[in-house]
Structure 1
Amino acid sequence: MCELLGMSANVPTDICFSFAGLIQRGGNTGPHSDGWGITFYEGKGFRTFKDHNPCYQSKIAEWVQNYPIKSQSVISHIRQANRGEVSLVNTHPFTRELWGRYWTFAHNGQLAEYEDWPTGRHRPVGETDSEFSFCWLLSQLESKFPKPPADMTDVFRFIAQCCDQLQTKGVFNMLLSDGHYVMSYCTNHLYWITRRAPFGKASLIDEEMTVNFREKTTPNDVVTVIATQPLTNDETWHRMKPGEYGLFHHGELIEGNAEQLKEVAYAKPKEKKKRRQI
């Protein structure tokens, strides 16, 4: 299976530390050697970097790891192919336009007997079940909401219902973002952690790297990182249960369908714009 990595932050933040751990799993400490990709949102635009080569050997991944692109919403993926050839067109994340905004999607798992589900005008380019399910999701959204509602949480609640249908077809772990919100949905493996003051140190599991977040943050910074498996060995990650979803905005959990998620949600602090690493 593949692995996912996402981030939601209340200030422009680079994901170099977390990405450094993920890329090692792309063929070195893990078997996910069939390509990788990462999307950074910046305002209404985005930057996507992809490579169908193993992540830990990719010069592009090395460049991304060392270049601190700042973003408040990030989606990343490393692939272990199970449907569709190893190629750039089948490499996640996938991005499409809906309602005048870009949506980015990455999936971990495998689906079956989904080919007859309608996708409307949203057609997959590659052969993966992942891209097909993304097109189906967008088609369902467009049918349910011809125009985006004033309250976007209604949209993501509906997406969660669609994800419930998709997981009847197999394993469906997902990250989705429109640049403002980051949504996670779990079938079997998905963890998340919210970092806020008082900050401390953290060490990666897959790489000899430690960072002291206290030196790189302000007391108002809030950052949530979501991953298929925990990336650090000295922090407490929250494991999602099958059928759970979480919706994050500016680093804060604002919506979820399980008490475990709601109990660890905190009141939003006042935002202060600052660039830094996490």
Structure 2
Amino acid sequence: MSSADNKAKRASKNLYQISPSATEYQRLNRQHELIQEIMMGKVFHSPVKDPIRILDVGCGTGAVTYHLGSTFPSAQIYGVDLATIPPTPKKPDSVTFIHGDYHDLLGSEDPYITPGSMDFVFSRLLISGMTTWPSYIRTCHTLLKPNRWLEIQELEFPYYDDSGVISNDWEWFQAYQAGAEAKGLDLSCAVRAADWMREAGFVDVQTKKYCWPHGEWMAERGHEEYRNIGIFLTTEQPRLYQAIVPNMVSGMGYSDEKVKELQRDVLETLNPEEGKHKNYWVTFGKKPS
């Protein structure tokens, strides 16, 4: 492991941008429902068949973990996260939650997470915490059995409209990007995942792009499945980035007043407009035999 990877690994436990809370769990669960809605009922795209063990990395509230448990009732499902997963009386016996760091899955010493043990590895929206993407993907390759699948779902950070990228000149966006880079985060991970998978040895790598619209314009263009997420993002994205900005730019020399100015800029730039959106990428590939 390189010195950069070691540095990122040591820092990883401090990279949660939003502290776990009942409100944040509610937001994440609603977000899960809306992602499933724009995917026309799907949660994952990999052609998973007859799995015995599945790993959900960075499982958050456990929404995907529970879905995998109900979809594959004969499989053992493991969800790993640094935060404590909120309890639920409906947790299936086949679901096990592991408190651990997704930067160091093979070093977890957990008896369930071993080389060649998994039939499917899934992760979603690690963009604000993952600092070692290539080595993470190589680790997933090691964890998988031959002919089994890895799926990564990530958000591409720039905002677009019908003409192309529109966010490069936003002051808060520039500060956010610089802060992310200083923390070892890669805001281009969504579009780089396919190449990283191929470099790690995955084959049959496929991608699918979904729109995260800022407003209801996608529904008004005939894609009704995007209406609810468009309404949700119009409210939640400004609130989310206002909350994240202070942590993302910490240590960069900004005064408290300047940070507040950046937070005001979030509100000014994230008003709903025709065509405004981010891209959400699904990337999946198979470990060869």
Query: Taking structure 1 as the reference length, what is the TM-score of the superposition?
Result: 0.31
| Structure with the bigger percentage of helix | 2
Higher relative contact order (CA 8 A, sep 6+): 1
| Structure with the bigger percentage of strand | 1
Query: Taking structure 2 as the reference length, what is the TM-score of the superposition?
Result: 0.30
